Amino acid sequence: MAQAYCFKCRTKREIKNPQSVTLKNKRPATRGTCPVCGTKLFRIGKG
């Protein structure tokens, strides 16, 4: 599972409902939500 830093919880969390996206510059990224607080999480790169 992919992890990303949650700015609200101030810790690394597993990404809930991860979705693969492609940025404008063709780089891969992962988008989802924090399982604890529900904040949007975003991580650039494969994961």
pTM value > 0.85: no
- Angle formed at CA 39 by CA 38 and CA 40, multiple of 5 degrees: 115
pLDDT at 1: 77
Number of C-alpha atoms within 13 angstroms, CB side, residue 31? 6
2-31 pLDDT per residue, tens: 999 999 999 999 999 999 999 999 999 999
Residue 8's DSSP bridge partners are none
pLDDT reading at 47 higher than 70: no
DSSP the chain: --EEEETTTTEEEEPEEEEEEE-TTS-EEEEEE-TTT--EEEEES--
